[in-house]
Amino acid sequence: MNKLPTEKRAQALQMMAEGISLRAMTRLTGISRTTLIKLLEDAGQAFSAYMDRTLVNLPCKRVQLDECWGFSYCKQRAVPTAKAAPAGSGDIWTWVGLDADTKLVVSYYVGGRDSEAAMMFVDDLAPRLASRVQITSDGHRPYIEAIEGAFGGNVDYAMLVKVYGEAPEGQRRYSPAVCTGAIGKRIEGNPDARHVSTSFVERSNLSIRMGNRRMTRLTNAFSKKAENHAHMMAIYFMHYNFVRIHQTLKVTPAMAAGVTPKLWEMSDMVKVLEEWEMQNAG
């Protein structure tokens, strides 16, 4: 079990949630990197389990879906020639389901970007919702089969397919091509055209990149193990949902969604971790 005192744990978790690297945390706090990695692993599992059992029966009306790219160990094209690349190396995607009203991250999944990943993500999302919802996703085709399988006909679903122009600098570019338009397509049910949008979840992806060092583009701070990438995402989403006050809502997303009546502090996150450690001791 991690032997760090409560205040040190709270400090370390706060720094992780704010995107500070492990080596920088070692320099700033004096906590060894080995201890921080153990804290990362335990906290990731504890927070993932807590959100799994807590984010249920949610009164969402509009949910937006999107995927955010990252990579573990090396980029996908380098995996065949990478030296001693561990399992899970290459591109890694974080699928996010965001409530458009409360900004709560209802569900997330870390993995590939194929049909199997889409089904695992949507199968986790669907039972968390208390009633029929309107869903908007981008034009990623695996969503269609996944949503049909998880919701059947009990959903109002639309895709927002974006149209991109050519980037003037050709293929060697670091920014996406210019979006020249977007086409909303009804897939299932009767979605309200006024709310066919992925703007909130796309803005959430920007927050993820700004608040999670492992998701920053053009950096050497990427995860070296896929498992640690997933653990850090769990810490980020726990902090985002329960501790971080949303500037527009003036409360946390979990408070806005009725998941908790109070504003959490970092000590509350440590308490969740300690309860998980007691349950898994030995």
Q: Which residues constitute the domain of residue 91?
A: 6-279
Query: What values do phi and psi take at 272, rounded to 5?
Result: -60, -40
CA 67 and chain centroid, separation: 9
Give the pLDDT score at 214: 74
Strands in 134-137's sheet, in edge-to-edge order, are 105-111, 90-99, 62-72, 134-137, 156-164, 179-188
In a domain, 1, yes or no: no
CATH number, domain of 43, equals 3.30.420.10
In a domain, 152, yes or no: yes
Q: Convert the pLDDT of each residue in 154-177 to its tens digit.
A: 999 999 987 766 665 555 555 666
In order along its 282 residues, the chain shows pLDDT tens digits of 447 899 999 999 999 998 888 888 999 999 999 999 999 999 999 999 999 999 999 999 999 999 998 887 777 787 888 887 878 888 899 999 999 999 999 999 999 999 999 999 999 999 999 999 999 999 999 999 999 999 998 999 999 987 766 665 555 555 666 776 778 899 999 999 999 999 999 999 888 888 777 777 666 667 778 898 899 999 999 999 999 999 899 999 999 999 999 999 999 999 999 999 999 886
Instruction: Please enumerate in sequence order all residues whose Cβ is within 8 A of that of 173, keeping only pairs 6 or more positions apart, or say none.
Output: 167
In a domain, 134, yes or no: yes
Q: DSSP string of 162-222?
A: EEEPPPTTTTS-SSPPPEEEEEEEEEES---GGG---HHHHHHHHHHHHH-GGG-SS-S--
Neighbour tally for 238: CB within 10 Å: 28
Amino acid at 173: R
Residue where the block lists tokens 């949910």: 63
Quote the number of domains for the chain. Answer: 1
In a domain, 83, yes or no: yes
